[in-house]
Chains A and B, each alone.
Chain A
Amino acid sequence: MSELNTNNRALKWFEARLPVVSFLDHSLGTKYPAPKNLSYMWNFGSLAGIVLVIMIISGLFLAMNYTAHTDYAFNSVERIMRDVNYGWLLRYIHMNGASFFFIVVYIHIFRGLYYGSYKPPREVLWWMGLVILLLMMATAFMGYVLPWGQMSFWGATVITNLFSAFPIVGDDIVTLLWGGFSVDNPTLNRFFALHFVLPFAIVGVVILHIWALHEAKSNNPLGIDMKGPNDAIPFHPYYTVKDLFGLGVFLIFFAYFVFWAPNYMGHPDNYIPADPLVTPAHIVPEWYFLPFYAILRAVPDKLGGVLLMFASILVLAALPWLDTSKVRSAVFRPIYKWFFWLFFADCILLGYIGAMPAEEPYVLIGQFATAYYFLHLIVLLPLIGWFEKPKPLPESISAAVSKKSKGGHGPVPANAPAQEKA
């Protein structure tokens, strides 16, 4: 790690013993090179990190006022809403923050799919992302149980019952998860404990995710590697300010929901205290689980549905090998580009089907959409990679950027840095 360039003697003294400033400078600062052509689609990674921090902080303060007991949980949440100073704000930030976390992460994932960010040398980076997604889903599910409303209780019942599908050990697993013979106080207690600790596991995997990113460096809209200093700019100040601007825009959307539509993405039934004797008419998971819920319901067989649902995420881990094209970015893949949007639409369709009651025509549409989901990943991706003729790639990022600004936006500004090849 190189010397920190500073005249501050106290800082120098400290840096010689714990070089934290130069560490940050190398990882997120002026010494970390990033491609100069990243679009706003590249904002969502750091944004997800910030949302994670917002969730942990708001969750911490909520936990100070929450009681994890079936007799008190519902009322303790309502006490937060009514009596705790700004408790309503903390809870609505946390509640809507969960939804926005998934919005941000889903956009981040689809960006990776479009620009081939999972391809070599970023396979492990991609895997770490999938681990984060799985941990997020577990955390979100258990968090939704904590207010102990009707949807909390029945969501917990339905999801934990998924594990009963496994032969022989299924029922024992479910009893183990419950700590009893139904979803009850022991279940609520362990879910609270896990909901509190899992986000810190997410932080750990996020660090691995960023570590892997720093080995391979960022992908970019062209999908070609940085070849020299002309292709790169320092992360700070260029991407710090761009990420902060993106954060501002995000917060405007977020604030709209927190202050004016805090329950829009929730479900009214969760404002009814849990009743183990009455199941609500329509049980639907939170919106971010709907596509997976649709896949679960597409299979008439209990075990089959469960396996397929887990498979729908696990199959993504094999994506670096299923996609046989050597070209990363869909910009240069005329055929894949269309199939990407088809796949995107299929995922949205699955989400819609997941919200619909289990009746025709939704069941049939759900089955087709599920089939297409796997067809795209397992069959179409390898085939497209073999048969597609990609467009020629630009020789470098700087060459492409230069050409674009010459062609599209008039003459190159006089003060632009020199673009000669390094």
Chain B
Amino acid sequence: MADTAHTAHGSSEGESRRDFLLYATTAVGAVGAALAAWPFIHSMNPAADVLALASTEVDLSPIEEGQAITVTWRGKPVFVRHRTAEEIEMANAVDVSELRDPQTDEERVQKPEWLVAVGICTHLGCVPLGQKPGEPKGEWGGWFCPCHGSHYDTSGRIRKGPAPLNLPVPGYEFIEDQRIVIG
């Protein structure tokens, strides 16, 4: 770059020393610029107060068998479904190896009657239907995403449609028999 304006009388030794200095300085400056960009980029990541947001507590006792509720956790909908014996059976009656995202129902629940899953379609982020009575539950009795037609089963696993993964199960624990804390 700098050589374009350089006239021809510098000795070749001086020339190479200048080149070395030029490259070294350019490299140091470029590293500095890259490092300086980090605080700006990092400022767009979740802030400390966002990361520290309180976890969500859910009282399960009012949820009748066969019913489901949607709670908010970190600004996202979380499905909590009180599954019937039939639904649990349906969730288990599948050859796991044939699934797109192979997972047994056991891996996805702590107590078989309670399914807790983040209610966001793994395709492009819509909220699937199937929580309220009367909503389409898809071909496998779980959830159906109206945006692009993904079907989830009663364990929240993807069975048909464009979504690549099962509905994720958030970290949660039972603090009482009928009470969970998500997060």
Q: Do A and B bind each other?
A: yes
Given known pairs A79-B49, A90-B39, the reply for A64 and B44 (CB within 8 Å) is: yes
A203 at the interface (CB under 8 A from B): no
User: Is the Cβ of B47 less than 8 Å from the Cβ of A87?
Assistant: yes
- B39 touches which of A86, A234, A238, A417 (Cβ 8 Å): A86
Q: How far is the CA of A11 from the CA of B1 in the complex (A)?
A: 15
A7 at the interface (CB under 8 A from B): no
Question: Which of B4, B29, B43, B44 has the largest number of chain A CB atoms within 10 A?
Answer: B43
B48 at the interface (CB under 8 A from A): yes
Bitwise, B1-20 to A at CB < 8 A (1) or not (0) is 11011110110000000000
Q: Which of A373-420 contact B (CB under 8 A)?
A: 415, 417
Bitwise, A50-91 to B at CB < 8 A (1) or not (0) is 000000011001001100000000000001001111110110
B45 at the interface (CB under 8 A from A): yes
User: Is the Cβ of A61 less than 8 Å from the Cβ of B44?
Assistant: yes
A30 at the interface (CB under 8 A from B): yes
- A86 touches which of B1, B4, B7, B43 (Cβ 8 Å): B43
Q: How many residues of B contact A (CB 8 A)?
A: 20
Q: How many A-B residue pairs have CB under 8 A?
A: 55
Q: How far is the CA of A241 from the CA of B40 in the complex (A)?
A: 26
B42 at the interface (CB under 8 A from A): yes
User: Is the Cβ of A89 less than 8 Å from the Cβ of B39?
Assistant: yes
Q: How far is the CB of B71 from chain A (nearest CB, A)?
A: 25
Q: Which of A114-147 contact B (CB under 8 A)?
A: none
User: Is the Cβ of B39 less than 8 Å from the Cβ of A79?
Assistant: no
Question: Which of A58, A79, A84, A415 has the largest number of chain B CB atoms within 10 A?
Answer: A84
Q: How far is the CB of A422 from chain B (nearest CB, A)?
A: 16
Contacts of A86 in B (CB 8 A): 38-40, 42-43
- B5 touches which of A58, A61, A90, A234 (Cβ 8 Å): A234
User: Is the Cβ of B48 less than 8 Å from the Cβ of A65?
Assistant: no
Q: How many residues of A contact B (CB 8 A)?
A: 24
Q: Which of A288-306 contact B (CB under 8 A)?
A: none
Q: How far is the CB of A406 from chain B (nearest CB, A)?
A: 19
User: Is the Cβ of B43 less than 8 Å from the Cβ of A30?
Assistant: no
Q: How far is the CB of A279 from chain B (nearest CB, A)?
A: 33
User: Is the Cβ of B43 less than 8 Å from the Cβ of A64?
Assistant: yes
Q: How far is the CA of A57 from the CA of B39 in the complex (A)?
A: 12
User: Is the Cβ of A82 less than 8 Å from the Cβ of B48?
Assistant: yes
Contacts of A57 in B (CB 8 A): 40
Q: How far is the CB of A254 from chain B (nearest CB, A)?
A: 12
A236 at the interface (CB under 8 A from B): yes
Contacts of A417 in B (CB 8 A): 7
User: Is the Cβ of A236 less than 8 Å from the Cβ of B5?
Assistant: yes
Contacts of A58 in B (CB 8 A): 40
Q: How far is the CA of A111 from the CA of B48 in the complex (A)?
A: 46
Contacts of B45 in A (CB 8 A): 85
Residues on B facing A (Cβ under 8 Å): 1-2, 4-7, 9-10, 29, 38-40, 42-45, 47-50
23 contacts between A and B (CB under 8 A): A30-B4, A58-B40, A61-B44, A64-B43, A82-B48, A83-B50, A84-B43, A84-B48, A85-B39, A85-B42, A85-B45, A85-B47, A85-B48, A86-B42, A86-B43, A90-B39, A90-B43, A236-B2, A236-B5, A237-B1, A237-B5, A238-B5, A415-B9
The 5 residue pairs across chains A and B that have the minimum distance between CB atoms: A86-B39, A237-B2, A83-B47, A83-B48, A83-B49
